[in-house]
């Protein structure tokens, strides 16, 4: 799960959905891609909210990965609650072995905390729970199919806030 990188409010005529990334946000999105690559955690599929800032986060991240994850824009992820985000994850096809959900807070942070089984010793867990900052990425492992993800059924593997 990835929270979009730092975004701007360029002027009052720009809707929330059309807010772009800042220069720092673009650098941070690329840093997330490098971190995923260096950790051998590159996803196969990216479910991305329809907001401009999440699509730009995907572009920056994917530019650092070879191959880039398949992009699937999920308009339902924009302003989605935890249950709707969980439904998106549960609908990932079984032939996809790794995926990333790029969205917004509070939904992303709440979902990450909800599915975490808290069984693994990951020092960054507290940071994930208290401050899921822009460009923060939580990586989980799950047993079985995507459709079987429920609260407390995913093991937190890593949490990082890469900065470019």
H-assigned helices in the chain: 23-38, 52-62, 82-90, 107-115, 125-130
Q: Which of 17, 32, 23 is nearest to 135 (CA)?
A: 32
What is the value of pTM for the model shown?
0.96
The pLDDT tens digits of the residues spanning 36-49 come to 999 999 999 999 99
- Mean pLDDT of each 10-residue bin along the chain, 164 residues long: 95 92 98 98 98 98 98 95 96 97 97 93 90 97 95 96 89
Backbone angles phi, psi at 116, to 5 degrees: -65, 125
Please name the residues in contact with 14: beta carbons below 8 A apart, sequence gap of 6 or more: none
Q: Report how far Cα 3 is from the mean position of its chain's Cα atoms.
A: 5
pLDDT value of residue 78: 95
CATH superfamily of 2-8+17-160: Phosphoglycerate mutase-like (3.40.50.1240)
Q: Using CB atoms within 10 A of its CB, is residue 88 exposed (0-12), middle (13-18) or buried (19+)?
A: buried
pLDDT value of residue 75: 93
Please name the residues in contact with 11: beta carbons below 8 A apart, sequence gap of 6 or more: none
């Amino acid at each position: 799960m990835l929270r979009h990188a730092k975004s701007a409010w360029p002027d009052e005529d720009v809707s929330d959905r059309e807010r772009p990334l800042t220069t720092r946000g673009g650098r941070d999105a690329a840093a997330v891609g490098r971190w995923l690559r260096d950790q051998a955690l590159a996803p196969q599929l990216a479910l991305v909210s329809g907001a401009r800032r999440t699509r730009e986060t995907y572009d920056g991240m994917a530019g650092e990965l070879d191959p880039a994850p398949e992009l699937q824009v999920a308009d339902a992820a924009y302003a989605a609650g935890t249950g709707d985000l969980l439904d998106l994850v549960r609908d990932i096809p079984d032939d996809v072995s790794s995926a990333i959900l790029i969205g917004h807070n509070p939904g992303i942070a709440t979902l990450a905390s909800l599915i975490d089984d808290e069984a693994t010793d990951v020092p960054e867990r507290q940071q994930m729970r208290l401050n899921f900052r822009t460009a923060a990425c939580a990586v989980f492992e799950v047993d079985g199919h995507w459709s079987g993800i429920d609260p407390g059924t995913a093991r937190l593997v890593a949490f990082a806030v890469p900065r470019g």
